[in-house]
């Protein structure tokens, strides 16, 4: 199991359009960061992965501290969860022929 943290700044390029006066981090940006963190933390390439599920449960705002946890099962499924202040904001699974990036 691994853990990573991200904080999306108020000047992130996706913030102005999502949504003026009530900014949130777009789900695609959050999902991308979760997958990058999992791939890096597990030392695997996710280039051949398929997203099995991704459930967005609450918005993430600029400045929120996002804690990303992830693990990989023996069958190659990577599970990930993103939390803000102890509340789950995203959870999902990726199935892939992930290969090690370690030499």
Segment holding 38, helix H or strand E: helix 27-42
Q: Is 12 a catalytic residue?
A: no
Rg (C-alpha) for the chain, rounded Å, is 14
Count of CB atoms within 10 A of residue 85's CB?
10
Of 2, 12, 14, 18, the active-site residue reads 18
User: Which residues are tagged catalytic?
Assistant: 18
């Amino acid at each position: 199991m691994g853990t990573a943290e991200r904080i999306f700044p108020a000047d992130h390029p996706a913030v102005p359009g999502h949504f003026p006066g009530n900014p949130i981090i777009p789900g695609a940006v959050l999902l991308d960061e979760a997958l990058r963190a999992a791939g890096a933390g597990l030392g695997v390439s996710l280039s051949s992965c398929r997203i099995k599920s991704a459930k967005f449960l609450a918005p993430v705002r600029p400045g929120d501290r996002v804690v990303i946890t992830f693990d990989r099962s023996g069958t190659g499924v990577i599970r990930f969860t993103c939390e803000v202040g102890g509340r789950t904001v995203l959870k999902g699974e990726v199935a892939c022929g992930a290969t090690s990036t370690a030499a």
